[in-house]
Amino acid sequence: MRITASIFGVLACLLPAWLGMAEERPATALWATHAMDRVMRDRPMNTDWEPQLHAAKGEWEALQVIVSGAPEDVQGGLLTSTSLKGPEGALIPAPVLLREHYVAVTKSSELAPLPAGDYPDALVPQTFPWQPLPALRRVNQPFWVDVYVPPDATPGDYAGKVTATLATGQKLSQDFKLHVWNFELPRLPAMKSSIFMVWRRIAKIHGFNPDAPRAEPKLQRILNAYYDMLVDNRLSPHEVWQAYPDADNPLGEKSYAQIERALVEHLLQRQAGTISLPLWPTWPLADPLGLDRQAAMEYVVRYYRICEKLGCAGRLYKIFGELDEPNDMKAYSQVRAWGRFFHEVHDKYGVKVPLMVTEQPTPDNPAWGSLTDAVDIWVPHVSSVWTDMEAANGPREIPKRIAAGQEVWTYTALVQSPDEWKVSHGRPKKIFAGQPPVWLTDYPPINYRILGWLMPRYGITGLTYWDTSYWRNDNHDVWQNAGTYPHDNGEVYNGDGFLIYPAREGREGFEGPVASIRLKWLRECADDYDYLHLLAERGFKNLALDGSSNFARGFGDWDDNVPGLYQTRLVMGGLLEKLISRSRKSP
């Protein structure tokens, strides 16, 4: 009896604790936030955001839906969605639903304002294996809800619903709304782009021989999926393997027929906005600037004529990896030699293929000479745009180049804020906003989108980027660690040169590309640029720029003000709808 009484005494003491533990287990909940939010694993729920989207016809617009609860309740959940129902029974297809996969920032990037930790980045299919959830009392698992508005959609208000079905069988639902404006985004984005995507690197990533003379059929399908992914997100790969000359007989008629088929697919069917001429210093001609100069010029003309035949001559340009960021007398001389080559093609044949060079118009060293007679498309780093246009004593050369009939694009890489900018901002230990934009995982999301609002201020018409699936060490696991670019200077640049994850059959269940959230933010950048461009075409450029000055004033003067961005976009969309509707009614 004493033993029994002791047991009951112990149970009586433990029972309140057990009940308390049971009471502490959080209820599972579903909530929503906008697409520019980053939902960390342990972030408190915020149910204040109203899931209301606005989009033009032909536009993608996204929100995020988050399952939040105990890890064992969240793990294995599945998200489904209805179609969106609109005016008079009109329907928009159900959104694409992707699960957000987290990667670790173990060492912060240079001057990064955000801490080390796990960041949502890869947008994986829901068939993708789940990664283990952290052992937190309450954990978040966000899903990306990507809504596409077809070009022929009926304008007006739509409503949809997403439902999370948990492994326990519990169902949670979240309503969301969409307003479709009565105007259409152009299929070809106004913001031009040249995003490096090297086919031999993709071949190596997916287990193919990177030194093979041509891509075998299975690899071609994988490459096409990568090209499609970029174009679907409003960006253009700098080249496509299929549009290369034939490896065995590059200048033969069979080769040109192959090139034409590839360009039909890429420019007309895929509808890429730009393509670089496949020409290198030693291929498909061994000495294009010397002994093979005439043959090389004829090749350029033939390639141009194919593009012209397809109505796409304006999309052809030339960028050389070998001329990237020229930084001495020899490199500048090489740029001038190629400039003379393309000028000669133009003078002899009336064919203009613009030469693009990643350099600012004002050389770092005047002794190198000028490139103004060689370059057709200048691509200064974003920090060089600040130095030229916004620094107190900047040369203001960019508008002169544009006035001379040349183009100016821009690019970003690493963290390269000018010293003058740092001094004027008190040499910050962390950069939160207002610097020449930085595309790194542990920087605020607006860095990826703000250029769409800044570039039109200076007439900058395009973006380039140095890679999409690069990591420096072969044994690095990009699915686990965001530190893709450890620099020789000791810094790590998380996510630099890396926008698309490679899925492998043996690990992820298929061979092909997986988009990052950061790629989607660049899609939004291109769409924002389109809104500004459409207003500028109708004589409202200054109004649009003034309207965005509450968050975007210059390459070195902008705020991390996502609500301000969304509000400005809302006003611009409404204005465009009125202007375009009015123009339709005019005789």
CB 79 within 8 A of CB 143: yes
pLDDT band at 87 (very low <50, low <70, confident <90, very high): very high
Which of the residue ranges 9-18, 113-122, 161-170, 220-229 would you say has the lowest mean pLDDT? 9-18
Q: What is the DSSP string of 91-102?
A: EEPPPEEEEEEE
DSSP one-letter string for 240-277: -GGGSPPSSSTTSHHHHHHHHHHHIIIIIIS--S-EE-
Task: Answer whether residue 384 shows pLDDT above 80.
Answer: yes
- pLDDT number for residue 449: 98
Structure confidence at residue 4 as a pLDDT band (50, 70, 90): very low
- pLDDT by residue (tens digit) across 521-547? 999 999 999 999 999 999 999 999 999
Residues 388/395, Cβ–Cβ less than 8 Å: yes
Q: Where are the domains of the chain?
A: 26-184, 192-530
Q: Is pLDDT above 60 for 10?
A: no
- What is the structure's pLDDT at 355? 98
- Retrieve residue 129's tokens: 């294996």
**Cβ atoms of residues 275 and 240 within 8 Å:** yes
Assign 345 a pLDDT band (cuts: 50, 70, 90).
very high
Provide mean pLDDT across the span 221-243: 97
Look at residue 17 and tell me whether its pLDDT is greater than 60. Answer: no
- Per-residue pLDDT band for 414 (boundaries 50, 70, 90) equals very high
Give the model's pLDDT for residue 474. Answer: 87
Region 85-101 average pLDDT: 97
Q: Is the peptide bond before 284 cis (omega within 30 degrees of 0)?
A: yes
Q: Alpha carbon of 282 to those of 289, 295, 338, 344, 500: distances in Å?
A: 9, 13, 13, 19, 30
Mean pLDDT of 191-220: 95
Choosing among 3.20.20, 1.10.10, 1.10.357, 3.40.720, the CATH entry for 192-530 is 3.20.20
pLDDT tier at 586, thresholds 50, 70, 90: low
pLDDT of residue 48: 87
Asked if residue 32 has pLDDT above 60, the reply is yes
Give the separation between CA 115 and CA 102, rounded to whole angstroms.
15
The strand pair at 29-34 and 275-276 is best described as: unpaired
* pLDDT on residue 63: 98
Strands (E), 110-170: 117-124, 139-148, 156-165
Judge whether residue 124 has pLDDT over 80: yes
Cα–Cα distance between 457 and 359 in angstroms, integer? 20
Torsions phi, psi of 282, nearest 5?
Answer: -130, 10
Predicted TM-score (pTM) of the model is 0.94
Q: H-helix or E-strand containing 464?
A: strand 462-465
Query: Measured at the alpha carbon of residue 324, what is the angle toward residues 319 and 329, in degrees to the nearest 5?
Result: 120
- CATH code, residues 26-184: 2.60.40.10
